[in-house]
Amino acid sequence: MIKFGCASKNITPDVTGVQMMGWGKFENIAFGVALPIHSRAFVFESDNKKIAFVSAEIAFISQSIKQGVIDFINKNYPEKNFNDDNIMLSATHTHSAFGGFSHYLLYLLTSKGYSKEIYQTYVEGIAKSIIEADNNLTDSKLSFSIQEIPENEPVAFNRVVKAYNQNPEVKNLEENQANLAIDRNIYLIKVYNQNNLPLGMINWFAVHCTSIHNDNYLIHSDNKGCASTDFEKELKKENIDFIAGFAQSSCGDVTPNFKKYDGSPFQRGISEDDFISAELNGKIQSKYAKKAFDNPLFEIEGKIDFYQKYFDFSNMKVDPKFCNGLENIYTTKQAIGIEMIGGTKEGPGISEQLLSVLKSVLKISKSDILSRKNDDKKIVFANMHDRTIMGKNIKNVSLPKNIDEMIPLLKKMDEKGALDISSWTPNILPIQLLLLGKIAIIGLPAEFTTISGKRVKKLILDKLEKIGIEQVIVSCYTNSYSGYVTTPEEYDMQFYEGASTHFGKWTLSAYQTCIEKLCDEILKPEEEREKNNLSPRIFDEKDLEKLNLEYYVK
């Protein structure tokens, strides 16, 4: 018997005039709330072991949030026996929720610094949703189902079909077949009580929460928030207190936006009105989640297990079997390529002309020396490990404001000593496995593309089928955040996604190397498993004082 409890908490910070996180635009400021954001928590317990899964309607889970949630629970509810290893925090990746919650500099830039109020609101709301879900534990029954969303439903599209086509395992598709270059399946866990009344549901479907664009000025949980609201409303018509989690999967190259409207600089979704687009997209997800909900594939029974390990991705040796048999292949230190500041069709950055000029400058400079390792094709714009822009200390960088408005902010932060606190993005990252009967959930701290996610799923299934695992669910934006993960083939195209893959061409191969180790460990008896010898960086109050947004908004 597996016990289950769920809960939902409103985690919308009571602030205004602060930038939202996702689009990378200073002008993307929230002055009100269109649709509040929530943390939905789901706790499972069996044989004195329990796991918690959370889907929070924010841009991503930072290491700071994960640390904060664990600290809050340990301090206030130590008897609950939750820890870093058995809690998995995921985000829906809405681009219309407040930033300012990370402790790493790159993810604080567009919010102009760290906000203790926003951070604490997120941490306490997520933690309390877990505790309330745990308090609601009751005997339950679980089932798993898969539902394909038909091709004609305008719900999700690959935004870089040309890169997708580079993968040897896919069939080449035309640009107008972008709806086929994705995983159109919903993966769903349904929970109901001994009287067959539904208690809760979590599903994973890969599509960016970018139905709402950067010309919006209201907090909004985007298409997945709309889907949860729609699904819960249907169940509550039957007087059932029910929680529906619409979690995120391998959506790094998957967008809800597919149409250019006259006068708009963006590709938008079903409607020219973003709020309508988000609602209609959410209704499609909700509609097919209901079909999955009503048609279980198999019952979930058996034991609960979990294992988490931290890895340093900044100079990791990759197993040859994950990089075409090549020997002595290593990842690079974290850096972003020039194409990242060019943006995407749903969120354009600088113009192609300016991008071309910058590329020319960088190609004849020493700023891309990091990218030359392992025949890496990235032209480096920012080296987050060495804390440089275009190969220079920020004091020596001069760019026109229309190229990058963040340079003046970085210089102000440098005066406060904020740039030297640590690397600008994390390199020590967690990977986490949760086992729930025949289901394995892999928590990944990045945005994986469609085929990257499929390769991870296949690896885990091949390793764990011997213990009865039949389905693998990929949960992205989980426990930490470190940009994108493309396949090596996609990476060589150096579009936005490849440029945003921090650890170089073999980033996915490094993840596969680590995930195989994770699988090997979880196959061992618990007492024989390797303990963590790495831990994420802890930022102290002096560090956070230097990052405080109050210094930089004047």
Whole-number CA gyration radius for the chain? 22
Query: Looking at residue 18, what is its pLDDT?
Result: 92
d(CA 258, CA 344): 12
Say whether pLDDT at 369 is over 60.
Answer: no
Query: Looking at residue 159, what is its pLDDT?
Result: 97
For the chain, percent of residues with pLDDT exceeding 90: 81
pLDDT digits 0-9 by tens, 79-116: 999 999 999 999 999 999 999 999 999 999 988 999 99
Say whether pLDDT at 30 is over 70.
Answer: yes
d(CA 7, CA 13): 19
Query: Looking at residue 239, what is its pLDDT?
Result: 59
| Mean pLDDT, the chain, whole residue set | 93
Say whether pLDDT at 399 is over 80.
Answer: no
Q: How confident is the model at residue 402 (pLDDT cuts 50, 70, 90)?
A: low
456-466 per-residue burial string, b: 16 or more CB within 10 A, e: under 16:
bbebbeebbee
Residues 166-190, mean pLDDT to the nearest whole number: 97
Residues 158-183, mean pLDDT to the nearest whole number: 97
DSSP 41: E
d(CA 442, CA 460): 9
Instruction: Say if residues 335 and 378 touch (Cβ distance below 8 Å).
Output: yes
d(CA 363, CA 466): 50
Q: How confident is the model at residue 507 (pLDDT cuts 50, 70, 90)?
A: very high
Residues 434-455, mean pLDDT to the nearest whole number: 98
Nearest CA-CA partner of 469 in 305, 320, 335:
305
**Alpha-helix residue ranges (DSSP H) falling in 23-115:** 63-76
The residues that bridge with 18 in the sheet, in sequence order, are 30
Residues 229-256, mean pLDDT to the nearest whole number: 90
Query: Looking at residue 366, what is its pLDDT?
Result: 54
**Is residue 381 within a helix (H) or strand (E), and if so which, with residue range?**
strand 380-383
Residues 272-277, mean pLDDT to the nearest whole number: 97
Cα angle 462-436-221, degrees, rounded to a multiple of 5: 105
Q: How confident is the model at residue 552 (pLDDT cuts 50, 70, 90)?
A: low
CA atoms 130, 133, 138, 140: torsion sign: negative
Nearest CA-CA partner of 20 in 126, 109, 86, 110:
110
Q: How confident is the model at residue 391 (pLDDT cuts 50, 70, 90)?
A: confident
Say whether pLDDT at 554 is over 70.
Answer: no
d(CA 530, CA 527): 9
Q: How confident is the model at residue 34 (pLDDT cuts 50, 70, 90)?
A: very high
Which range in 231-240, 385-394, 399-408 is most confidently predicted, on average pLDDT? Answer: 385-394
3-state secondary structure 456-488: HHHHHHHHHHHHCCCEEEEECCECCCCEEECCH
Residues 152-160, mean pLDDT to the nearest whole number: 98
Query: Looking at residue 404, what is its pLDDT?
Result: 64
pLDDT digits 0-9 by tens, 51-60: 999 999 999 9
Q: How confident is the model at residue 165 (pLDDT cuts 50, 70, 90)?
A: very high
Q: How far apart are the first and last CA of the chain?
A: 57
Q: Which has more pLDDT, 206 or 412?
A: 206
Instruction: Say if residues 433 and 442 touch (Cβ distance below 8 Å).
Output: yes
Say whether pLDDT at 229 is over 90.
Answer: yes
Query: Looking at residue 360, what is its pLDDT?
Result: 79
